[in-house]
Structures are given as structure tokens and as C-alpha cells.
Structure 1
Amino acid sequence: MLTHLTIKNFGLINQLTLEFDDHLNVLTGETGAGKSIVIGALRVALGDRISTSQIRDPENPCIIEAAFFLNDELRQLSIFQELCPEDDPNIIIQRVSRTNGRNSIKVNGQMITVSQLKEIGNHLMDFHGPHDHQMLLATESHIQMLDRLVDFGSIRNEYDKGYNEYTKIRQQLNELRDLSSSRDREIDLLSHQVKELEQVSLQDEEYQSLKEQQTKLTNAERLFECTNQLQEFLENSENSTSELLRKAFGPMKTLNQTDESTEPLMDLLTQCQDLNEQLINEVNDYADGLSFEPARAEEIHQQCDIYDDILRKYGPTLDDARSFYQSAKEKFDLLNDLEHNDAELKKQLAAKEKELTALAQKMSKLRKEQAFLLKKTIEKELSELGIANVQFEVRFEKSSLVRPAGYDNITFFISPNAGEDLKPLSEIVSSGEAARLMLALKKALIKVDPIPVLIFDEIDAQIGGRLGTVTGQKLRELSKIRQVIVITHLPQIASFANLHMKVTKSVKDKRTITDVRILDQKERVQELAEMMSGQTESAIAVKHATDMLKLAASS
């Protein structure tokens, strides 16, 4: 439910804050006053594109902020769970636009993208204006509307799961057929690639060990020189550390015998000798490891070359090479057993198609049952809305192909006048009829339509006073289940409002400005009287307006 809307620096609006009723909200005002600007601001708040020409003062940002109260169903959706605290059902959308392009969109203070905003908007509001009836005329949307009414139970989930499996099998079969045309050439290439990759284990540990050994081989001469020098310094020369430490024990023993307090010094000297021996052993072991056999050295170089070649062709990492090997091996095995796999996939596809056909038949039966009920509902609603001799029909054609929603092709047909043949909606529906048909569909779908806010702009096109009353009643009924916002020129519709807002236009500081204010009961009488007669002083119009409000309140 929309609770608040704040508009700053947008179109003819300087600054405006509106509060909305939970049920039927009506906006009235003279043509050109700016009623559609309010709806336009809502569209922008929920993802429509804003042009720089819509920013009233280019030196300042345009700010549109819409606050909504989320019902339990909406709060279960992942996008709202990500953006809203668990204990807070409110959501505030703020969109800031500037002429320099430095724009921002926030939901509850978190930055989001335009695509995320559009997704949010699709869940919150359903707009029906002069250009929003294309969905009604688009045949592909008819099955979606009907399916909202159908209780498929578990059948639809079974079909969706089976259809996903069916498409995967078809994709595998198509890939197999594409490969068969160049099978021999592909097998040769894959065979070469697989053999090349199987020359080594493709394991990170092995590659790392080989590279370390190769580094030692590459630097062997320098390493040998260093170890020889160390061995010379540590034990193989007259002034080696071993010889010097051995000589140091002579005076140290004399010192220790003369003064017992020098015992710790003797211990330190002994530790130095032990550490020196340990270092000599470690250096000797390292030197022994440098003596590679020529054959082993050649093997290490060859394996490193193989790894480097593989990484250059299939890398840059061993993970990439392993992934490529797995894919190539699977494709190689598949091609080697092409005929068997082709027959097996065809068998699987036929079995899955048979399973889907049985489920599609059940879905079609349920749709036809609901289509008959929808026909009766739509004809009743449209008859009450002034299309007296209307005939409405949901026609089914069976597709020869397995499709995401079954095999039904569904088209809404209508005959608005007696004696005329039924034709597809797109061929005969006028804008006024489209608005009323959309209202009738909304009435029919209201209990299964999850969108909480409905907006009707110019729903009163091409209808008169009596039909205005009926339309107002329908909107009032609709607003008992959903929040409804309506722009209208008909006093009959406006009389049913739970909240009546008047849009006015004036000139301030040599600039036109649009304002909106909520009308009290007295002001509503004056507004309805003016809408009927063009003047508020007419006693007859005032009496008529008063009676109209009483009638609406009692219905």
C-alpha cells in the first residue's frame, strides 16, 4: 500500500507531499492542471525513465520519494527481504535525479540499480493509463491472466520441472547433431588435446615440485659454488669454524679449572660447537641433493616444458587446464559413441514428451473449466459497465510443440455489439472499451493478483454519467481488496472516493505551479458541482452533488 508520496522539482510541481487512503483515492482537476504529473512521478519512483526536461529547476535535484507498507505476501519475496528489516513492514524509495547525470536510487537508505527498482515496482503497482492497455491486447498475456485463476495443484510444478528436463535433453541432442557433421575432424582434434593433457597429472603439487627442482638445476653451478664455500668455511680449512671452535676449548678448559664461575661460558662454547656440527650436516645434505643424474635432470626439464606448453594453450591456470581436459574428454567419449548416444537421447526425449503431454492435457482441462467461469464474469461486468450485448470468449488452439506453459494457445475474443462476430481483442477494442475491459479483468483476477496498488488514468474515457456511477461502484468494490488510485473527469466516479484530492494550477513568481490538496466534505460538494456544471454557485449542481455523495456513501 502506498502511504506517502513526496515530489520536489518535477514538472510543474515545486514541492508536494501527499498522504493516501488504504482504499479508493481519486484525483480531479481541470485538464492540464497536472494530474498526470503526479502519476508520472509515481512511475519515475518505480523505475520509469526521467528526462532532464522534467526537472523543473536544472540547478537543483529532482527528488521523488514514495513510502509503502508491505503486506505479508510481499515481505516473503527475496528482494524485499534483502532491503527491509524483519520487524519493519515499511519501505521508502527515494530517487534523486540531476541534469548533470549524478543520479541515485535508494531503498531504505541502501543504493540499488534501476533494474532492481523496476523489479520492485512490478511487485508494488499496476498502472493502467492510455498507453498501458498493450498488455491486454497482446495475445501472449492472455494465458498468463487465465492461469492466475486456475488452481493447478502440483500439476504445474511437475510440468515446469519436466519441461526443464525436456529442454536440456533437446539441447544435448542438438549439440550432438551439430557435432556429427564434423565428427571425424572433431575426434582427431579432441584426441590430440586429450593425449597432450594426459602426459602429466595436472596436479598443482607436482607442478610446483618440478619447478623447484628445475630452479635448482638451472642454478646448479652457482649453488655448488656456494655450498663448497660454506663447507670450506665450516670444516675444510685451517681457519674453519670447526677448527677454531676446537682450538677455543684449550683456553676455555684452563679458564674453567681456575674459576668455576666460568662454567656457563663452557656451556655456550659447547652449544656453538653443536650448532656448527648441525649446520655442517644440513649443508652437506643440501649439497648431496644438488647432484642430479643427467637422465633425471632431462626428465625434469621435459616435464616442466610440457606443463608450460599446456598452461600456454589451455591455461593460464592448472584449474583452467583441468576444466578443459574434463570437457574435451566428455566430448571425445560422446563422439566416439555418437550413434548410441543419439538413439538414447531420442528415447529420453520421446518419453519426456509423452509425460509432458499427459500433464498438459490435465492443465488444459483445468484452464477450460476456469475459462467458462471467466467468460461469465467478464460478460456480467462489461454489461454493467455499459457494453450491454457483449460476448466474451476464451479460445483454445492446440500447439503441435511442447511449450513452457503446455500446448494451449489462448486468445481472448470479444464482440461488443449485438450481431457482430467474435474477434480477437486487438482487432476491435477501442480505448474506452479497453479501459472497461481491464477493469472487468481486474475485478475477476483481484483475489489472485498479488499487486497491492492499482492506478487507473483516464478510465472514464468515452463513458457518460450513468456508466460513471457503475464504474465508480466497481472501483469502490475493487478498493475493498486493493488500494486504488484514479484520475477522473467524471463526478460520478469521484463521488465514490474515500480520499478526494484536487489538482490545481496557478502562477507564482511568473512561473506555473501545480498543487494538490485533500478536499473536505464541503469542498467535495463544490468540486463535484463544478465538474457537473462548470460553476460552484449553481444551487441545482450543489444539490445534485450532495445527493451524489450520499448515494455513493450508501452503496
Structure 2
Amino acid sequence: MLHSIFIKNFGIIDQLRIDFQDGLNVLTGETGAGKSIIIDALQIALGGRPSADQIRTGSEKALIQVTFDISGIKGLASVLKETGLDDPEEPVMVMTREITRAGKNICRINEQAVSLSFYRKIGGSLADMHMQPELNSLLSQDKQRQLLDRFAGDRTLAALSEVNLLYTRWREARNNFEKLDAEAGDRARRIDTLCYQIEDIRQANLTPGEDTELEDEKKFLANAEKISMLAAEAYASLYEAKGSQLSALDLLARAADNLRSLAALDRRNEPLLASLENILYQAEDAARELAGYLDGVDFSPSRLEAVEERLERIKKLKKKYGGTIPEIISCLEAAQSELAVLENIDQSLGKASQDVETALAEYNRAAGILGAARRKAARALEDAVKQELLYLEMGRVDFKVSFSDIEGPAQGGQERLEFMISTNPGEPLKPLAKIASGGEMTRIMLALKALLADTDEVPVLVFDEADTGVGGRALQAVAEKMLQLGMSHQVICVTHSAQVASLGKAHYRIAKEYEGDRTATRAILLDPEERLQELARMLDGSEVTEITLRHVRQMMRLPTEK
């Protein structure tokens, strides 16, 4: 239920708070006092379109905040999670709307900013505004179908769940078939491409790390002549004497002989001798390794050419299939896997086609059961609505549920339905949304709401001047129907009718007050005596007589004073 509304700097309202009660809440007051402004504020608080002109003169922004008790509202938790909002710890939801003259529009739910579309979705699940067609959920064909399904009962709702499940399966099967079918159309061209790629990579017979080894070999071969010269010179310096110039090994051997004689005379030189002998042995090893290295150095222009050609081929493969040899090999494996799938696509396509046919047959079977249940329930709903309208002094109204087939499978079933009505005998049935008379629309809405009260999950119903265009016995019937609705919903009603107002559980008088040179709107919760006077004023204007008061007491079912 709606706990309260807080309005600041909106219209002629500087600051106003109204705490509502459960059941039927009525708002009355003189024309121009601000009743409709309160309803406009509530409409905006639930996601309606605001205007900068609605901001109070002299203010730059307006604030509207509504607080709801959301305990027992089914499906709200899943809607909240769509935008990352968690269930509040307490069953309370605060919706805040701030509008500015600059056009800034801030929407918050429990102090968290949300998008306007999501904010409006939440507002629509909490309250149903019967004032403008675009905000009336009963005028939506989807809503009408939902209400019929709920009216039909649990078996129909179970059939609907099965239809939606089977629709999802059919759609997935169809998407899989279409994907395979599209692949089949390009199969021949794609197979040629894959075969070329596979053969191109296979013929190269690549080995991971091969390119690095080839680069090293290319560098060696390209510098083989210089390498040989440097190695020969190093070997000659170590091992070969030139004329009177001794080699490095000769000089080291001579120095070792001298140190050996020296150590024999002075043992302190033995460590130095050992170090020099080690150097001599290392030099001899180096000379032998250089000799072997020189034997292996062979400048081969043909080998260099072969290495360069191999590197160039690897370079081209990298450009086409990947930046490294492992990536090229991965590309080969992927191409082989895809080729295997494409070569078996006829078999896969046949199975996918059979899956679509099976899913479609199962969907059609379930949709047929659902459609039959809906049509049966529609006949019962038509009779029930007519009975409700008869009570509301609209006994000559014709009400039908119109069905039209939807081509192909669809979410929710294979039929589109719409509530149709004719308010005058002989007139054709028209969609409920096109009913022109405000009084007729009010009673039709009341009839549907009363009939579907147990299945309509929107907890709050708001009626703005629901008595417009209604009088006499019909007006009394409207009042009693609102009282009935108040037993299953919270009803907030702006009314000029004493008959409607007299049945309210809570009665608020909306009054305009003057503070200096400014006008402000106030909401006063009336006590029994104040309410008696307000209802009398609504009946007879400013002159309230004892007869009027007696009449009011009878309307309120109060004892008449003697």
C-alpha cells in the first residue's frame, strides 16, 4: 500500500505530506484547491512525464517522494534485480523524483539512482492510475491477456508456463538450424579455403623454434669467411710460432719452467706455479677447440641460399596464419576441426531440421490447449463483466473478448486478445481503449477491477474524479463498488461526490490557504465531525441545514441526532 506522499515546491504546493490508510481514501475540496495537483504529483512520482511549468513559482526544482509497503507483492524482487537493486531489509520502498527548471530529472529508489524506464516499470507495478489512458494498465492488450489468464485459474497459468518453455526450445532449435543452414550455403567455398590453408601449412612441415635456429644459422653462414679468419688468427697466436716470435703456449711453457725452478728454491712460489700451470692447460684446451672449430667452418653459399628461402617461406606463413610458428600450427588445427564439421554438415542440418519440427509440434500442442482454455475463460469473463456492469447501471452494455490468431509461434501463445465493448445497443463493438465517455470508462474500469480484484497484483488504485459524468443510482453503485475494491486494494479517489466520499475509510479535505502574498495547499485528515460538515458542504454548498446533516448521517450510516 501507499504509506505516504511528500510534495515540495510543486504547483501551488510549497510543502505537503499526506499519510494514507488502507482501504478507500477520499480527497475532497473546492475546485482549484489542489486535489488534481496532488494526483499529478503522484503520477510523476510513479514515472509520469513532468513539466518545468509544474515547479512552484520562485523555485528552481520540485521534489516528490512516495513510500510504499511492498510486502506480499509478487515478482517485485526479480524486477529489482534487473538493475542490481536488492530486496530492502524492511518491506518498504521509497521512490523519489526530482525535477528542475534546467530539465534535470533524477529518479531514485531507496536512495539509489535508477533509469527513468526502470523507475517507471516499478511505479507501474505499485499503482494503477485511472486518469490518462497511457497510464491505465487495463488498456494494454498484454495486461488484458494476463488478467484473463489469471481469471482462468491455475491450470491455464500452468499451460502458459509450458507454452513459454516450449517456445524457448523452439526458438533455440530454429536459431541452431538457421546457423547451420547459413553455414551450408557457404560450405563449398569455405571447404576450398580450408583445404588450401591446411595443405599450405602441412607442406611447410614446421617445427616450433625452427625459425630461431635458422636465423642463427643464417647469421653464421653470412659471416663464415670472417669467422674462419678470426678463428685462424686466434689459433696461430696460441699455438704457432712465427720466426723468432714464440707462440703464447711456448711463452707460457717457458714461464712455467722458470717458476718450477724458482719454486724448487723458494716454496712460497708453489701456488703461483700451480696457477700458471692451470692457465697453460686451459690455453692448450682452447687451442685444440679452435683447431676443431676451424675444421668445421665451411662457407657454403648454397646452404645460405636454402636457409634464406626457408625463412622467407616461414615469414609468408606468419603473415597469413599467425605471428609465430605455434600460432600457425594452432591455425592448422582449427582449420582441420572446422573442415570436419563442414564435411558432416548435411547430417547435422538434417538433425537440426528434425529438432525444429519436433519443437514446433510440441509448442503447437501446448498452445492449442492454452488457446482453448483462454476462449472458455473468456466466455465466463464476458458474462461476469456484464453482471458487474448491470450492477453499475450499464445493463445494456455488450462486452466481448476478441481473439485474433498470431502467425507462427509466439511468446505467450498463438492468439492476440483485446477487450471489446459497445455501450449502446446496435453500436459495433470497439476496443476498450477507444471508449470516449469518462463516466462509462470509469464504471467499466470499476467493473473489471472489482471482478479481477483477486488476480490483479497492482496494490494501489487511484481514481481522479471518478464520479465525472455519473449520477443518480449509477453514482451510488460507483460509490459502493469503490468501497468493495477497498476491501482488496488500497483505493485513493479524488471526488466531488458526497455519495463516494461518505464511504471512505479516510477522508482528506484539500484546502487552499493564503500566507502573505503566496498561496499554499494543505491536506487535512478529517475527524468524524469535520467529515460530517464537509459532506454536508458537498451536498448543499455553504448553507448547511439540519436536513442536510441528517441526510449525511444516513449516507455515513451514522445514527441521526434527535
* 8 A contact 2:133–2:139 mirrored in 1: no
The residue type paired with residue 127 of structure 2 is M
SS in 1 for 2:469: coil
Match for 1:157: what amino acid?
Answer: S
Instruction: Write the deviation string for residues 167-220 of structure 1: whole angstroms up to 9, x where unpaired.
Output: 34445566677788xx4xx4465346646876899xxxx99x879959987997
1:542 to partner: Cα distance: 2.4
Taking a change above 3 Å as real, the CA distance of residues 447 and 552 of structure 1, as seen in their structure-2 partners, is farther
> C-alpha offsets along residues 234-279 of structure 1, whole Å, 9 cap, x if unaligned?
xx999xxxx9xxxxxx9xxxxxx99xxxxxxxxxxxxxxxxxxxxx
Structure whose CA Rg is larger: 2
**Distance apart, 1:356 and its partner CA:** 2.2
Q: Hey, what does 1:70 align to over in structure 2? A: 70
Deviations 1:404-447 (A, max 9, x none): 33333434343434566655545666332122111111112111
- Between 1:55-64 and 1:456-465, the stretch displaced more is 55-64
Q: Residue in 2 aligned with 1:382?
A: 389
1:107 CA drift (Å): 2.0
The alpha-carbon distance between structure 1 residues 306 and 199, as it changes in their structure 2 partners (threshold 3 A), is: farther
Which one of the candidate residues 524, 532, 551 is aligned to 1:544? 551
- Provide the residue aligned with 1:125 in structure 2: 127
SS at match of 1:402: coil
User: Shift in Å at residue 13 of structure 1?
Assistant: 1.2
Residue matched to 1:112:
114
- For 1:77 and 1:129, how far apart are their aligned partners in 2? 28
CA distance in 1, matches of 2:337, 2:36: 57
- 2:454 maps to 1:447: yes
C-alpha separation in 1, matches of 2:543 and 2:211: 97
Structure 1 pair 461/102, CA: closer, same or farther in 2 (3 Å)?
A: closer
Q: CA deviation at 1:145?
A: 2.5
Match of 2:362 in 1: 355
Instruction: Tell me: CA distance 1:212–1:447, structure 2 relative to 1, closer, same or farther (3 Å).
Output: farther
Partners of 2:133 and 2:433 within 8 A in 1: no
Q: Is the 8 A contact 1:527 1:536 kept in 2?
A: no
Q: Given the alignment of the two structures, is residue 533 of structure 1 paired with residue 540 of structure 2, yes or no?
A: yes
Q: Which residue of 1 aligns with 2:465?
A: 458
Aligned to 1:148: 150
Structure 2 matches for 1:83-94, cutoff 5 A?
83-84=85-86, 87-94=89-96
Alpha carbons of structure 1 residues 424 and 73: separation in structure 2 relative to 1, 3 Å? closer
> CA separation in 2, counterparts of 1:213 and 1:8?
77
Identity between Structure 1 and Structure 2 (%): 30
How far did 1:493 drift? 0.5
Work out the CA distance in 2 between the residues paired with 1:381 and 1:63: 40
Distance 1:131 1:396, change over 3 A: closer
Match of 1:37 in 2: 37
- Within 2, Cα distance between the matches of 1:52 and 1:211? 74
Say if 1:465 and 1:490, in contact at 8 Å, map to a contact too: no
SS in structure 1 at match of 2:414: strand
1:278-322 per-residue CA deviation (whole Å, 9 max, x = no partner) reads xxxxxxxxxxxxxx998677666655654555579xxxx99xx99
Match of 1:53 in 2: 53
3-state DSSP of counterpart to 1:157: helix
Mapping of residues 287-326 of structure 1, within 5 Å: 303=314, 306-309=317-320
Q: Does 1:16 align with 2:16?
A: yes
> Which range moved further: 449-458 or 406-415?
406-415
Q: TM-score, with normalisation over the residues of structure 2?
A: 0.72
Q: What is the distance in 2 between the residues matched to 1:200 and 1:16? A: 81
3-state SS, counterpart of residue 406 of structure 1:
coil
Query: What displacement does 1:485 show?
Result: 0.8
Q: Are the structure 2 counterparts of residues 499 and 428 from structure 1 closer, same or farther at C-alpha, using a change threshold of 3 Å?
A: closer
Distance change (3 Å), C-alpha of 1:217 and 1:510: farther
Distance 1:63 1:215 in 2: 76
Name the CA distance, whole Å, in 2 between partners of 1:342 and 1:7.
Answer: 63
Distance in 2, matches of 1:431 and 1:133, equals 15
- 1:400 positional shift: 5.6
The residue matched to 1:115 in structure 2 has which SS?
A: helix
Cα distance change on mapping 1:474 and 1:332 into 2, 3 Å: same
Counterpart-to-counterpart distance in 2, 1:218 and 1:506: 100
Which residues of 2 match residues 321-336 of structure 1 at below 5 A? none
SS of 2:14's partner is: strand
Q: Secondary structure at the match of 1:446?
A: coil
Measured after TM superposition, the shift of residue 28 of structure 1 is 1.4
Task: For 2:383 and 2:336, locate their aligned partners in 1 and report how far apart those are by CA, in whole Å.
Answer: 59
Residues 479, 211 of structure 1: CA spacing in aligned structure 2 closer, same or farther, 3 A cutoff? farther
Residue of 156, 162, 169 corresponding to 1:158: 162
SS of alignment partner, residue 101 of structure 2: coil
Matches within 5 A, 1:243-322: 303=314, 306-309=317-320
Following superposition, the deviation at residue 119 of structure 1 comes to 2.0
Instruction: Tell me the C-alpha RMSD between the 2 structures.
Output: 5.0
1:211/1:31 CA distance change after superposition, 3 Å: farther
Can you list the C-alpha shifts for 1:36-75, whole angstroms capped at 9, x where unaligned?
A: 2212212222222222222214643311111111113447
Q: In the alignment, which of 493, 507, 517 is matched to residue 524 of structure 2?
A: 517
Q: In the superposition, relative to structure 1, how do residues 352 and 474 fare at CA in structure 2: closer, same or farther (>3 Å)?
A: same
Q: Structure 2 residue aligned with 1:167, among 165, 171, 189?
A: 171
Looking at structure 1, the residues matched to 338 and 559 of structure 2 have their Cα atoms a distance apart, in angstroms, of 74
Q: How many Å apart are 1:347 and its aligned residue?
A: 4.1
8 A Cα contact 2:77 2:87, kept in partner: no
